Chain A
Amino acid sequence: MSNHINRQRRKIIKLAMFGGASTLLATQNKLNLIRAALASDYSAIDDYKSLVCIFQRGGNDAFNMLVPLKGSEYSNYQKIRQNLAIPRNSLLPVSGEQFGFHPSMPLSRALYNQGQLAVIANTGVLFRPTTLDSFRNNNLIPPDLFSHSHQMDIWQTGYPSDPSIIRPGWGGVIADKINQANSAKAGLPPTFTLSGTNLWQSGEITRQLGVSASGVNNFEFFSNDPWERSRTRAFERIMQMGSNHPLQAQMQQTLNDTRMRISELKKTLDQGAELTTPIDKKNPLARQLRMVAKLISVREQLGMKRQLFFVSAGSWDTHGDQVQDHADLLAMLDKGIGSFQNTMQELDSKGIVSTNSVSTFTASEFGRTLITNGNGTDHGWASYYMVSGGAVRGGRLYGQLPPMEIGGSNDAADEYEMPAGRLIPDFSVDQYGATLARWFGVSETDLLSIFPNLANFTQKDLGFIS
């Protein structure tokens, strides 16, 4: 027991050392940001690109999404996963048979084989290259591992959560800078969320725009129709009232932004072309992605050269009933990505936007344990992510499928803990994000300031997109 307590104590101190560094880093980073803002100019961008983040809230069990097929590797997987293991003959092998997709994912397999989808193996929240030794010595290990909220914060910002500092997300900081390229009307930001407020798109100055998958509505009852005109005038005067209360002023700003943004957006969307590619209307991800496609289709009218979208679906936290639930979730993801890529083909064939200019990437706060609780799996660390689109150098797996061994050399467990197969990532989310951001047009100097841990890794581009 004393060993355990001593370890806790040691963790505190190690964390303290890290925290100190982080504070300095933060200050330094702010200065860098200011400098970079002066240095990098994005106003000359004249092509169109957008990034679509598909967030799997809850922690996706990537180890059941992709399964190694080689005899010994598969039998090892099966031994560990027991009743949760996907039967070998039901897996969907990719060309070359390096691995198989979960049986719910035929469209992803097809995109992969067509070179439109890539898999990035064994990636997660990571501050520097990490081994089991450095994990056990707590050497710059991300704090609060395995906690949903904390890992989601780090995934989306690059920094540990800290109640005393408000961190922007890396998508938001990119938006702050790259918005120079846009000439959007009505204060429309480059960031659209189909799934509520998220940290990833929260910039220092950019406020994300929330849109429902079902469409955009104006404030009703405040129109310029003759019988409402006087009421609308009063409404507008109320919207111009000053306030000395910060929350009240914030709400006023929110209402004014909303009015301006929504009316412009609705006007533009109403004039947009109908999209005919079929989608499953019961699939929430497919519906969100359909609205993304609509927003992309009117990007010229909106004055957008760069856009960042956020869609998400919850319930990936499969502690129980994983066999059925995870299969359903993966089917939703697969159909969502599949119908979105088909819609992009439609836009491409209509000459509205090239498939090469839109890339989707998956995200999830962490992977899961190799070990099961009988019905499901627990919070892990490393995961696999998928990118798709015309610009992706697909049909490849980047990095390596990790060795699966409970208590092995990549299993993040302290000596006094029962190991559970929470695998240490090979790649950092910072590397993953920076690769996407570089394609998006972010300058090298800005990449280093936006992704605080990127400097700690030699490989600054994972090569899956160009």
Chain B
Amino acid sequence: MIKITNLKELNHSTTALLLVCMVMTAFTRLCHAAEGNVLLTQLQTFNNNNAGTGQPVVPWLTVAVRNLGINTVDVALERAESIAGFVAKPEQVGYIAFPDALDSRFISSQDSSILLKTMRLGVAGWTNICTAVDISSRDTILIASQSSRNGSDGGWVRRCHSNDSLFGLGIDEDTSQDAERNHVYEQVSLVTFSKPFSAHFDSGDTSWKMEAGQLSAVSTFNHPAFNHIQFKQQYEVPPVVVILPGSAGPAPVSVRIKNVTNTGFDMRLMEPAGTDDLHVAQIVHYLALTPGIHKLADGTVIEAGIKSIQNLQSGTGIDGTRSWNRIQFQQSQPQTPHQQDKMSTADAARFLTQASFGPTDESIRQLTQLGRYQDWVQQQMELDTNHQLQPTQAYWLKNCPLNEDGDLINSVTEIADTWEASMGRHNLWWQTVLNGKDQLRQRVAFALSQIFVVSDKPQMLENSQFGMASYYDTLLNNAFGNYRNLLEDVTLHPVMGLYLGMLRNQKADPERNIRADENYAREVLQLFSIGVHRLNLDGTLALEDGQPVINYDQKTVQEFARVFTGWNYADVDWEEWIGDGSRVLPMQAVEKFHDRGSKQLLDGFEIPAGQTARVDLEAALDNIFNHPNVGPFISKQLIQRLVTSNPTPAYVERVASVFNDNGSGVRGDLAAVISAILLDTEARNGHKTLPAFGKLKEPLLRLTHLYRAFDLQPTRKEGSFWEHDSCGRGEYPAYVMGDSWSDLSSLGGEIGQAMLHAPSVFNFYRPDYSPAGLAGTNGLVAPEFQLATENFVVNTANLLNYTLFWAEPVTTVNEEGLSWLDFSQIRDLATNTENLLNYLDRVLLNGSMSGQLRAIIKQHLDNPDFQNHDDIQLDKIRDAIALIIISPEYLIQK
């Protein structure tokens, strides 16, 4: 049995982790169900060395791997952080692919039965955590290779700890650029043999050989030269050799080999540049295998090969082109049966957590019946949109038919914009996200509202609630449209014009010492499109001379500011009337105030002089839209809002590629981008393969999830829904949550988040926020943790529990009534604790409830005290939900 445990306590004030993963019995986060291959790699040659005698090797190389799939894998030489050294000649990369999650046996030449197991697991950085593999026998041979390249500084896997029965793995890093050896989690392929062996297989006309064992890698203090190793048996052709370096010595180290022959090979411990290359002796584990495609008696297919590769990957701060070489496996591993299974309710619930405002029993059932995610996405994209403005206005008109002068309002265009519509706007949003069918569009618009941020915190927009509703409609309308149109509609919306100052922005007037307002120019570049620094397609920083490259400078901002001059409310005259105009109609150009000079925009693009405001604007937005950063910049943030805080670069690249070309040559197709995000293998399977996959649930999404799962019912009140005097009185429905949370429109101060109510254009949290503690130490970002302050954490929990425990069903018009959750569907279930927990597991935890959590809740629900309650079922339901929604495994969406 193999078990993964964490060994080292962090030198940090965090609780120690216990990572337990038992192969073949239960899979937890670090382990995963079988899927495709594991892959071992090793450089077989030592063709490049520009270093002088006695100097560390340059270029110092290992093997980089990513996109390990069923049929293919990307491989490159990894130069990591070491600056020096040119790869003049290709190196031979040896690779061995096994089926994943293997549990197989074969007989060795010594007539022993050898147990062969494989798995993929997440391994932490060298100075972060030593991820330990708890082995059953001290004889076990473990070979491992890194199978992802999440960290920008390269890295390779190494033993980080060993004693008789514990065996740790860590991702080591070279120190050529800096002293740190922190590293984000990487996926590692691990192959274990129960003891050292050599084996000879004959199957029909093919014969092949394999051996594994321990070797002594000698100290380079005493033996700077390569040391010769003899195989246990003679091979017909030189085998592929893979080695896992040991844990000894304070400096980073890997193992290089060369001169692999039928009888043996040369081996040496190799420290990277930045060290003295003097390393102490250590035990290393090795595997050697005849190249080719082989079958074990039980049908297990093993593929070993050698590929000549010169493609290079380098670490942060290293210049040079980067490329990958794709290896095509000759023999695909058969897909494991579960991949062909029909969608489980757990799969459906997970998907709906990402693509809607929370799964419900009904939406889970509908999706599983539909059977395919893409069909659901397609259906959703074709649904009618639940807009904000029109129903809010209509509702207002019905309730408040008179204007300030007491005259009858004839049409919605005559309704004055006001802060008094705030409750209506929020109420409508809650109705829509809780009950609306167009869940995906609403969820995407919500995500976009956190990128293209406007906020009604400033007074001018607090007084413009219909304008806010109209802005939200702009996001809804463009959610599955083209990014270029979205950018233009947002730019010309008067609410954005007010928020970031493009409205009534005028050309420079030297007489009056006036310059164009730079606010919108700066933020549209920095936050809505390309960001400050140049990015690679995979969302990582692009470097030149080892340093980030800025996309624009102050001059560029000034030039864009001049583009965005001469725009005013559509319905008022610039000079005669400076008061309020329409907060709904797109801004209109007033040429007199537009700067008609030439402008130099991004990447040397120039707008000629003498053009109109509209022509300039179109050209400038095209210039932004076609910048290569937009794809990765926007894609990554959408992934973070919907799926996971720390997408792998490969995931970002796949989505950004779709942004750049939807397959029909169209750039910026957001429908295609959203599909790519949700249908990606990482979105669907990341929780099984990536140790830090997922995100902290946003406070608002915690609310919507619970309210949807148990169909929150508005209370019915007597009086006026609007706070406006002229509005009629009557009966109206409202979401009322408690004493201090009078309604769902005033949550911002309590839980830190409300619709279009961020503290600034930088949203409720920043996409790169990384909290101190485990997330920070592991190089993870976790934006939503910026809201996890003590007061918000407590208030959010109390708000949810207040409704859960205090709100009773009220069907009459009632001033005291609270909005209540409807448990009538599950009352009967609650007579059986297991049935109740199964239901809650499905709708709240995507069927991933841990055995431990289940046991704790079950023990509580089985407490005989419940027999004294008036309503046993209801109280059990409430307690079980309260305990689930405060649990960390619920709070992290995976």
Asked whether any CB of chain A lies closer than 8 Å to the CB of B115, the reply is: no
Quick one: which of A27, A80, A243 contacts B889, CB cutoff 8 A? A243
Return the CB mask of A163-176 against B: 1 if under 8 Å, else 0.
Answer: 11010100000000
Give the residues in chain B near A253, CB-CB below 8 Å.
14-15, 773-774
Asked whether any CB of chain A lies closer than 8 Å to the CB of B681, the reply is: no
Give the residues in chain B near A208, CB-CB below 8 Å.
789
Give the residues in chain A near B863, CB-CB below 8 Å.
230
Asked whether any CB of chain A lies closer than 8 Å to the CB of B665, the reply is: no
Query: Which one of A88-96, A316-324, A353-361, A430-438 is at the B interface?
Result: A316-324
Residues 582 to 639 of chain B near chain A (Cβ within 8 Å): 600, 604, 606
Quick one: which of A1, A23, A258, A414 contacts B793, CB cutoff 8 A? A258
Contact A145 B554 (CB under 8 A): yes
Residues 762 to 809 of chain B near chain A (Cβ within 8 Å): 762, 766, 768-776, 778, 780, 782, 785-795, 797-798, 801-802, 804-805
The distance in angstroms between the C-alpha atoms of A245 and B513, with both chains bound, is: 57
Contact A373 B514 (CB under 8 A): yes
Give the residues in chain A near B797, CB-CB below 8 Å.
219
Give the residues in chain B near A233, CB-CB below 8 Å.
860
**Chain A CB within 10 Å — which of B28, B178, B774 has the most?**
B774
A-B interface contact total, Cβ < 8 Å: 300
Asked whether any CB of chain B lies closer than 8 Å to the CB of A113, the reply is: no
Asked whether any CB of chain B lies closer than 8 Å to the CB of A38, the reply is: no
Asked whether any CB of chain B lies closer than 8 Å to the CB of A39, the reply is: no
Also in contact, A246 and B774, with CB within 8 A (given A19-B548, A164-B152, A219-B794)? yes
Give the residues in chain A near B889, CB-CB below 8 Å.
241, 243, 248
Contact B768 A244 (CB under 8 A): no
Quick one: which of B14, B18, B185, B798 contacts A220, CB cutoff 8 A? B798
- In angstroms, how far is the closest chain A Cβ from the Cβ of B789? 3
Give the residues in chain A near B886, CB-CB below 8 Å.
219, 235, 238, 255
Quick one: which of B501, B526, B604 contacts A376, CB cutoff 8 A? B501
Contact A211 B791 (CB under 8 A): yes
Asked whether any CB of chain A lies closer than 8 Å to the CB of B729, the reply is: no
Give the residues in chain A near B316, CB-CB below 8 Å.
164
Asked whether any CB of chain B lies closer than 8 Å to the CB of A444, the reply is: no
Also in contact, A15 and B789, with CB within 8 A (given A202-B772, A249-B15)? no
Query: Which one of B225-233, B480-488, B688-696 is at the A interface?
Result: B688-696
Query: Which one of A117-125, A146-154, A274-282 is at the B interface?
Result: A146-154
- In angstroms, how far is the closest chain B Cβ from the Cβ of A372? 6
Asked whether any CB of chain A lies closer than 8 Å to the CB of B6, the reply is: yes
Quick one: which of B458, B545, B782 contacts A16, CB cutoff 8 A? B545
Contact B805 A221 (CB under 8 A): yes
Asked whether any CB of chain B lies closer than 8 Å to the CB of A45, the reply is: no
Asked whether any CB of chain B lies closer than 8 Å to the CB of A314, the reply is: yes
Give the residues in chain A near B788, CB-CB below 8 Å.
197, 251, 254
- In angstroms, how far is the closest chain A Cβ from the Cβ of B590? 14
Also in contact, A372 and B513, with CB within 8 A (given A207-B772, A247-B892, A320-B501)? yes
Quick one: which of B14, B526, B550, B752 contacts A249, CB cutoff 8 A? B14
Contact A378 B794 (CB under 8 A): no
Also in contact, A372 and B17, with CB within 8 A (given A12-B547, A220-B801, A247-B696)? no
Quick one: which of A30, A205, A413 contacts B772, CB cutoff 8 A? A205
Contact A250 B790 (CB under 8 A): no
Give the residues in chain A near B888, CB-CB below 8 Å.
238, 241, 243, 248-249, 251-252, 255
Residues 277 to 301 of chain B near chain A (Cβ within 8 Å): none
- In angstroms, how far is the closest chain A Cβ from the Cβ of B749? 8
The distance in angstroms between the C-alpha atoms of A317 and B520, with both chains bound, is: 12
Residues 8 to 38 of chain A near chain B (Cβ within 8 Å): 8, 11-13, 15-16, 19-20, 23, 26-27, 30
Give the residues in chain A near B554, CB-CB below 8 Å.
145-146, 413-414, 417
Contact A320 B850 (CB under 8 A): no
Asked whether any CB of chain A lies closer than 8 Å to the CB of B563, the reply is: no
Contact B791 A230 (CB under 8 A): no
**Chain A CB within 10 Å — which of B316, B553, B759 has the most?**
B553
Contact A246 B780 (CB under 8 A): yes
Residues 211 to 229 of chain A near chain B (Cβ within 8 Å): 211-212, 216-221
Give the residues in chain B near A12, CB-CB below 8 Å.
544-545, 547, 549-550
Give the residues in chain A near B517, CB-CB below 8 Å.
319-320, 373, 375-376, 378
Give the residues in chain B near A221, CB-CB below 8 Å.
798, 801, 804-805, 882
Give the residues in chain A near B691, CB-CB below 8 Å.
244-246
Give the residues in chain A near B408, CB-CB below 8 Å.
none
Asked whether any CB of chain B lies closer than 8 Å to the CB of A296, the reply is: no
Quick one: which of B505, B557, B791, B891 contacts A373, CB cutoff 8 A? B505
Contact B458 A315 (CB under 8 A): yes
- In angstroms, how far is the closest chain B Cβ from the Cβ of A263? 10
The distance in angstroms between the C-alpha atoms of A239 and B557, with both chains bound, is: 49
Return the CB mask of A349-370 against B: 1 if under 8 Å, else 0.
Answer: 0000000000000000000010
Contact A245 B29 (CB under 8 A): yes
- In angstroms, how far is the closest chain B Cβ from the Cβ of A363? 16
Give the residues in chain B near A379, CB-CB below 8 Å.
518, 522
Asked whether any CB of chain A lies closer than 8 Å to the CB of B26, the reply is: no
Contact A205 B13 (CB under 8 A): yes
Give the residues in chain B near A206, CB-CB below 8 Å.
772
The distance in angstroms between the C-alpha atoms of A162 and B844, with both chains bound, is: 37
Asked whether any CB of chain B lies closer than 8 Å to the CB of A67, the reply is: no
The distance in angstroms between the C-alpha atoms of A197 and B769, with both chains bound, is: 10
Give the residues in chain A near B516, CB-CB below 8 Å.
373
Asked whether any CB of chain A lies closer than 8 Å to the CB of B51, the reply is: no
Quick one: which of A5, A27, A256, A314 contacts B457, CB cutoff 8 A? A314
Residues 136 to 162 of chain B near chain A (Cβ within 8 Å): 152
Q: What 15 additional pairs, Cβ within 8 angstroms, besides A221-B801, A246-B775?
A: A1-B600, A4-B555, A12-B547, A12-B549, A15-B548, A163-B541, A196-B786, A197-B785, A207-B773, A212-B795, A217-B798, A219-B886, A255-B888, A373-B516, A414-B555
**Can you name 11 A-B residue pairings with CB atoms under 8 Å?**
A57-B759, A146-B518, A204-B772, A210-B789, A245-B892, A247-B775, A250-B14, A251-B891, A261-B790, A320-B498, A371-B515
